Structure 1
Amino acid sequence: MLTELSIKNFAIIDELHIPFQNGLTVLTGETGAGKSIIIDAVGLLIGGRGSVEYVRHGEKKAELEGLFIIDDTEHPVYQKARELGIEIMEDHMLVLHRTISHSGKSICRINGKLITLAILKEIGQSVLDIHSQHETQALLNQDKHMELLDYFYQSKHAHFKKHYQKLYQQWKELKYKYEANNKNEQELAQRMDLLEFQLNEIQNANLQPNEDEALTDERNELHHFETIHKNLNDAYNALHGEQKGLDWLSHAANNLEEAGEHNKEIQTLHQQYVDHYYLIEEISYQIRQHLDQMDYQPGRLELIESRLHEIDQLKRKYGQNVEEIMTYSAKIEEELDEIKNRDQHLANLAEMVQEAANDLLLEAKELHNNRKKAAKQLEKAVLTELKDLYLDKTDFQVDVFIPNKEKGIPFEGKKVTPHEDGMDQVKFLISTNPGEPVKELDRIASGGEMSRIMLALKNIFSKHQGVTSVIFDEVDTGVSGRVAQSMADKIYNISIGSQVLCITHLPQVASIADTQLKIEKVITGNRTHTTIQELSFEERIDEIGKMITGAELTDTSRTHAKELIEMNHKK
């Protein structure tokens, strides 16, 4: 849950520190007081699109910080955090921080670690969900309907699309490969000429694995031949000869041997010394052998330089080293073979594409059947929710169908075009008046009905969504009376499983809350400021009383407000 929110120099807010409680918290206040600005701040904190317009006039930057406590260590955010290298502390604290400068630069952090805006969004939206009037309008977009239906089904069957999507990717890659190979003859002839030239150039070079590295090492040795020879010779002479290194080491060995005749520890030391002496003696022989093999050949250096130049010319065209050039050679040799045997290769590819399409369509059909089952379950769940919201005469249907395309793959008497999510289209249809046929949402539902439909869906999905906090931003607009009370009950029901923050102008919603925060706009020193205050029981009565009358507080409105609070908290 969101435990604390800190806002500094954001829009008309100079500085606010807001503690939040579990359950349902409502934010109330006059229009323009800054309620939605607080929600905007939370939206940016979880990865929303920022703007320099949010930085308070005259300030250099706006700062937002939110403290979340995620007690459930099985929550998906823990897995995401591990994948992204973010540590969640032992006390289950997750701190999101975002700074927006007046120049437009945005800096994001999670638990003190700098991260990208994309990561902030991924983590933030896994713990908090903002539901606004804009989201309600998004329900009119039919592209969202399949997403919602799949989410409903996927909450119970987590992997139901994964096998299809794997097959889809395989089919797509094979189809692309077939189309790429099925080019016109002129393009293929030009491509074959180019590949043959490249292959001949590489093969004529007769490259050997790691040849460039070996030649570079040899060139380096030849460039420094005199230095290497002199130092090896000096090292050998320092070890061999009378009164030289090995001679003195031999004397020391004799001394240790003689001393060891009277002391066992020295005997052990002598044996260790002798082992090292023989090792040094062996190294001296290897130095001598290397000196004997050294033979400076001026012509060899010239040959190496010429060969490395030839290899560098190939590197410019085909790879950064010999290994990459040889890999490229094998690749174009394979492509040449495919072009030369194009007809057979195309036939093989076509067969593979067809087999992949058959498997894909069978899996897509299974997806279709699952969606049809899920559609019936979602219809039933939504109608139950709508009945509670006084839309009991509503007919809500989820239409899952396979469109017939002009171009596509033949399947069960029609042509279909598979896409990433199957071959279906999904539409939410509704009729709010008995006897009228169901139609698309945007042709039937009013603003108040849309709010109720979306709230019904949110109430269904909140059980599976996994977010710890939900924010409702004036989703109760356009409703009143018993519908408002029903919406209040639904919002409160969601708060039982998740923390809910709600901006509202409805007394029914405000009265059912566990906590009420009043937002006010004040002017101090010719500057506008936003303040926030948690209301006591008596203060809530006054505030809700004003919401009832819409004007001055009266004894009647106070009595009604008190009754509303007491009635809602007896449920």
Structure 2
Amino acid sequence: MLSKLSIKNYALIDHLDVSFTNGFTSITGETGAGKSILLGGLSLVLGKRADLSALRDKDLKCIIEAEFEIKKYKLKRFFKSNDLDYEDRTIVRREILPSGKSRAFINDTPITLDILSQLGNQLIDVHSQHQTLQLADNDFQLKVIDALADNKAVLEEYSDKLVVYKKTSNELEQLIEFQKDADKEYDYNSFLLKELEEANLKVGMQEELEEQHEQLNNVEGIMEQLSKGEQLLNDEQAGIVSLLSELKLTSSKLSGFGSQYTELNERIQSVFIEIDDIANELQFFQEQIEANPQLLEVVSGKLQLIFDLQKKHQALSIQELLKIQEELSEKVGVTANLESNIEKLQEKLLKDKSELKETADTLSKRRVAVLANLKQQLQDSLDRLGMPSATFQIEIHPSSDFKSNGNDNLSFLFSANKGSNYGELKKVASGGELSRIMLTIKSILAKYEHLPTMMFDEIDTGVSGEISNKMGDIMLEMSKTMQVFSITHLPQVASKGDQQFKVYKTDENDTTHTRMKELTADERVVELAGMLGGNDLSDSAMAHARELLN
């Protein structure tokens, strides 16, 4: 409940501090006294966007602070999810700076306007002419039906399943779109992959082929140099092998004359063995090497294929080509498996849809089951409010779409008079009738769910004194389980309040101020008498006022 409200430097209000009790509070005052200003200030602390023109003194900041008792509101989860300190007595503050900037706080913690608005919607329900238009909204109408059907748990289950269904549906849609693009590239990617796979590429392959190509392409020069080397080693008269043989013989003879000669002989023997091995290897190479134009052509072809692939794929090495081959393989594999994945998702979507439809059907059945009760309650309440012939035609039909609150289409039609055709509320109900219907619906909702503080802004406009008296009774009944405010011009409604406040203007030093005060019992009599008979406070008006209060 709203326990305190403080407004500073807002419109015609320089400073206002008021405290409220639980139950029913009526707020009265002459037209133009500033009741709308009070609501405007309250709306700012509930999250409405600020207007710099609302500042009374443009050089000072506007501060609006409201204290709420929220123990029964079950808001601890909201506070925790938004990293806020929870207090049973929570203070909400809004500041509008002269610069035009706005700041908001919950228990002195800075918050965004969005969070403030979310909390405000759970603290006070301000009924205005705009909200009366909600009566024609199917979502609002279904909310009323769901309250009677106690559908909260089923709606939560439906909402969870709807999230799963939409997620699967989006995944399927994206995969089908991806398949369209992938199919266009599949053939080309498959061709590129096959080309790379047939090249049978391996790391180091290019270097080996280039070396083999160099040898095959220079066979004659290699043979010439091998022959020359072999001749230098094995020439009978001046060959290196022949000369080393003589040197080996000489060193062998010296080895018997001392250890130093023995060591020298061993070194010469080692050199001879190495040179002799080289000579044999040169001879072997000569015997092995031969011109092979066919092999040269094969090696040249393989190298050219590698160069062509590197150019096509803008690669610098075999390693890069192998990486591209791996990527192409993945793409082709994914495309090849798309059909299977799509079929699996389609099966999952059918399963999700079936489960969602089952819960939606449960919602529908529970809604249909309470329609007669809702119609009866509406008609009985409106009968009390001077609309004895008011009837409703409420029907629920299945929809092909899954909406946020089920897959029902709701037909909510109204007739105010016998013999009149049924029509949509916004088309066939007058302003006064809409106000009475909204009050009736709010009173019904109050029986089935815990509503926040309710503030009715002149909901009794356009109704007679007797009807307003009954509207006041309904608000008084609602106030037994919740805090109710009524801004009213009718004494019959104002008299029902457990407490009554008067909004009025004063002129001080050529400046107009809006004030608000709680009326004493005697002041309430005078105020109500004035509302009954104008400025002429006749004995009969005073007596009537006392009668209303009693």
- 2:91 match: 95
Q: Which residue of 152, 158, 177 corresponds with 1:158? A: 152
- Indicate how the Cα distance of structure 1 residues 13 and 465 shifts in structure 2: closer, same or farther if over 3 A, else same: farther
Query: Shift of residue 71 of structure 1?
Result: 4.5
- Indicate how the Cα distance of structure 1 residues 491 and 117 shifts in structure 2: closer, same or farther if over 3 A, else same: same
Q: Which runs of 5+ in 1 are unaligned?
A: 207-329, 404-415, 567-571
Q: Give CA-to-partner distance per residue, 1:128-166, whole Å, 9 cap, x none.
A: 22112221122123343223333443xx34211222223
Given that 1:145 and 1:427 are in contact with CA atoms closer than 8 Å, whether structure 2 keeps it comes out as no
Query: Shift of residue 66 of structure 1?
Result: 0.8
**Comparing 184-193 with 77-86, which one deviates more in the overlay?**
184-193
- 2:55 match: 55
- 1:23 match: 23
The secondary structure found in structure 2 opposite 1:455 is helix
- How many residues were matched structurally? 422
Q: Which residue of 491, 508, 518 corresponds with 1:534? A: 518
- 1:233 match: none
- Indicate how the Cα distance of structure 1 residues 336 and 120 shifts in structure 2: closer, same or farther if over 3 A, else same: farther
The secondary structure found in structure 2 opposite 1:99 is strand
Given that 1:26 and 1:504 are in contact with CA atoms closer than 8 Å, whether structure 2 keeps it comes out as yes
Tell me the distance in 2 between the aligned counterparts of 1:106 and 1:336. 56
Tell me the distance in 2 between the aligned counterparts of 1:362 and 1:331. 44
Supply the AA of the counterpart residue of 1:86: L
Q: Which residue of 369, 374, 393 corresponds with 2:365? A: 369
Supply the AA of the counterpart residue of 1:390: G
Tell me the distance in 2 between the aligned counterparts of 1:341 and 1:24. 68
Supply the AA of the counterpart residue of 2:170: Y
- 1:398 match: 394
- Indicate how the Cα distance of structure 1 residues 53 and 335 shifts in structure 2: closer, same or farther if over 3 A, else same: farther
The secondary structure found in structure 2 opposite 1:390 is coil
Q: Does 1:85 align with 2:83?
A: yes
Q: Give CA-to-partner distance per residue, 1:527-562, whole Å, 9 cap, x none.
A: 221111222222211111111124432222111111
Q: Which residue of 160, 165, 174 corresponds with 2:168? A: 174
- 2:474 match: 490
Tell me the distance in 2 between the aligned counterparts of 1:166 and 1:366. 15
Given that 2:70 and 2:89 are in contact with CA atoms closer than 8 Å, whether structure 1 keeps it comes out as yes
The secondary structure found in structure 1 opposite 2:173 is helix
The secondary structure found in structure 1 opposite 2:433 is helix
**Comparing 436-445 with 342-351, which one deviates more in the overlay?**
342-351
- Indicate how the Cα distance of structure 1 residues 166 and 25 shifts in structure 2: closer, same or farther if over 3 A, else same: closer
Q: Does 1:8 align with 2:22?
A: no
Q: Which residue of 137, 148, 171 corresponds with 2:133? A: 137
Query: Shift of residue 379 of structure 1?
Result: 1.9
Q: Does 1:435 align with 2:415?
A: no
- 1:183 match: 177
Tell me the distance in 2 between the aligned counterparts of 1:168 and 1:333. 37
Q: Give CA-to-partner distance per residue, 1:292-345, whole Å, 9 cap, x none.
A: xxxxxxxxxxxxxxxxxxxxxxxxxxxxxxxxxxxxxx9998775342223333
- Indicate how the Cα distance of structure 1 residues 108 and 181 shifts in structure 2: closer, same or farther if over 3 A, else same: same
- 1:323 match: none
Moved over 3 A (4+): 183-186, 189-198, 330-338
Supply the AA of the counterpart residue of 2:431: G
Q: Which runs of 5+ in 2 are unaligned?
A: 204-325
Given that 1:484 and 1:509 are in contact with CA atoms closer than 8 Å, whether structure 2 keeps it comes out as yes
Tell me the distance in 2 between the aligned counterparts of 1:78 and 1:186. 49
Tell me the distance in 1 between the aligned counterparts of 2:356 and 2:543. 65
TM-score (structure 2 length as normaliser): 0.70
Supply the AA of the counterpart residue of 1:451: S
**Comparing 335-344 with 513-522, which one deviates more in the overlay?**
335-344
Supply the AA of the counterpart residue of 2:70: I
Tell me the distance in 2 between the aligned counterparts of 1:21 and 1:420. 37
The secondary structure found in structure 2 opposite 1:86 is coil
Q: Does 1:543 align with 2:527?
A: yes
The secondary structure found in structure 1 opposite 2:444 is helix
Q: Percent identity?
A: 33
Query: Shift of residue 185 of structure 1?
Result: 6.8
Query: Shift of residue 2 of structure 1?
Result: 1.4
The structure with the larger Rg is 2
- 2:350 match: 354
- 1:304 match: none
- 1:507 match: 491
Query: Shift of residue 380 of structure 1?
Result: 2.6
The secondary structure found in structure 2 opposite 1:497 is coil
**Comparing 371-380 with 473-482, which one deviates more in the overlay?**
371-380
Correspondence list, 1:439-450, <5 A: 439-450=423-434
Given that 2:92 and 2:107 are in contact with CA atoms closer than 8 Å, whether structure 1 keeps it comes out as yes
Tell me the distance in 1 between the aligned counterparts of 2:188 and 2:536. 86
The secondary structure found in structure 2 opposite 1:402 is strand
- 2:115 match: 119
Tell me the distance in 1 between the aligned counterparts of 2:187 and 2:113. 48
Given that 2:25 and 2:485 are in contact with CA atoms closer than 8 Å, whether structure 1 keeps it comes out as yes
Supply the AA of the counterpart residue of 1:11: A
